[in-house]
Amino acid sequence: MAHALEVVTQQAVTVAPRQWRVHVRPTGKGFVQVSLNKSWTTKGEKDMKTSIQLVAGIVITLCVVASSGAQENSQTAERLRNEASGLLAQGKISNAVDRLKEAVAADPKSDQCWLDLEDAMGRLHEGKVPLDARDGMIKAYPLSAMPHVFKAVALFKDDQFSQADDEFAKAMKLEPRSPYVYGYMFQIHTLNGEYEKALGDHKMYTDLGGAKIFEGVARQYGFLLLALDRQFNGKNLPAASWRMPEDFSAIAELSSAGMPFLLWVLRNVQDPKVVLGDASAKGSNLKYTYRGSEDSPLKYAPGLYIWDGTVLVTPQDGILLLNGTKLKHVSVVHGIRTTRVGVVRDWRFEFEQKPLTK
C-alpha cells in the first residue's frame, strides 16, 4: 500500500499547457493528505477545470484504496484481539501477548490494541514490565505514541519524573491530537501536584473528545482541578459579605486515613455546580474538620495536605477550605520536588516557599 502511494507521488498529471503534481501522504487512519503544485499559462478556464477533474479522480481513487487497506488492517487487528482474549481466558498469557503484538503490527494506530497489549504485558511480568521490553516496543513501532505513554507511566511509578516528562513529550510529538496521551498526562500531572499543567491537559483531553476508558476518572479529576483552581488562583470565590451557614446537617471530625478527601467528596458528583456552588441551589450544608499537624496532615488532594482546618460543602458556595486552614503543597516539576507551606486567607491559598528537596 505504501509503495503504491509512493509511486503515484512521483508522477505528474499533464493537461497542456498546465502541469499539476500530486503529493500524497498516508495518515495511517484510512485517509490521505494531498497537496497540488501547479504551473500555468493564461490559456483559459477549460484546461484548468479538466486538470482539476483529473487530479480529483486520482485523489478519490487513492482515498478509496487507502481506506480499503486501513479497513482490512483494522479487521485483522480486531480478529487478533479476539484471539488474544480467548488465550487470556485460558491462562495462556505469553501467547496472548504474541497475538496482541501482531494486532498492533496490523494496526499501529489502534489505541485499543495498545491498551490490551499493555494489560497483557503487565500480567505476563506480574505488574512490572522491564524497561528494556518497553524500549523494544518503541524501537519496533517508532511512529506510535502509546509505547512512549506506557513507558512514561512506568517511569513515573519509579519516581523518575523528568524522564517520564520526556517520554510524554515524545508521545505528543508523534500524536499531538490523541486523547489517550492527554488522558494519562492529566492524571500524572495531578498526582505530581502540577495542577496548572493538569488543567491544560484535561482541557485538551476534553476538546479531543475524550476516551471511554477514562470517563469516570476524567470527570472526578476535572472537578477536583476545578475545586483547587478556584482557591489557588482566586476564581469563583464567595463575596466579601459571605457569612457562615447557621445550620449544618452534618459536622464530622476527619481522620487522616483513606483516599484524598476531596476525591472522596467528589466520588459521585455529576454536576460542576456542586463544586462551585449556585446561589439558587437547595440542599444540605456539610462541615468537616481536621486538627492534626504539619507532621500529621490530612491528604486533601494529590499533592495537597491540610491541618487545623475546615472543609465546607454547601449548595450555595460549593466546596471550600475555610480561612485559617493550614496547607502544605508538594509538587514535582522537572524532576525536582518542591514543598511549600501556607494558609487559606481571604479564600485563597497563600504559600511561603520552602527549600527544594529531591
Q: Consecutive sets of 10 residues in the chain, 358 residues long: mean pLDDT of each?
A: 33 39 43 42 51 50 50 89 94 95 91 93 92 94 95 94 95 96 97 96 97 94 96 92 89 85 91 89 91 95 97 95 97 91 96 67
Range of 41's domain? 1-127
Residue 274 lies in a domain: yes
Cβ atoms of residues 281 and 316 within 8 Å:
yes
Whole-number Å distance between alpha carbons of 212 and 218: 10
* 127, 157, 179 - which closes a domain: 127
Rg (CA), the chain: 27
Q: What's the pTM value of the predicted model, to 2 decimals?
A: 0.77
Residue 275 lies in a domain: yes
Residue 188 lies in a domain: no
What is the per-residue burial (b if ≥16 Cβ within 10 Å, else e) of 241-267? eeeebeebeeeeebeeeeebbbbebbe
Pairing of strands 286-290, 326-333: unpaired
Closest to 69 measured CA to CA, from 113, 102, 26, 6: 26
Residue 68 lies in a domain: yes
- CA distances 55 to 71, 192, 340, Å, are 24, 52, 62
User: Does the CA dihedral 62-65-70-71 come out positive or negative?
Assistant: positive
Whole-number Å distance between alpha carbons of 232 and 350: 8
At 239 the pLDDT is 87
Q: How many domains does the chain have?
A: 2
Residue 283 lies in a domain: yes
At 51 the pLDDT is 52
* 127, 162, 195 - which closes a domain: 127
Residue 135 lies in a domain: no
At 270 the pLDDT is 86
357 secondary structure, DSSP code: B
Residue 178 lies in a domain: no
* 99, 127, 155 - which closes a domain: 127
Residue 294 lies in a domain: yes
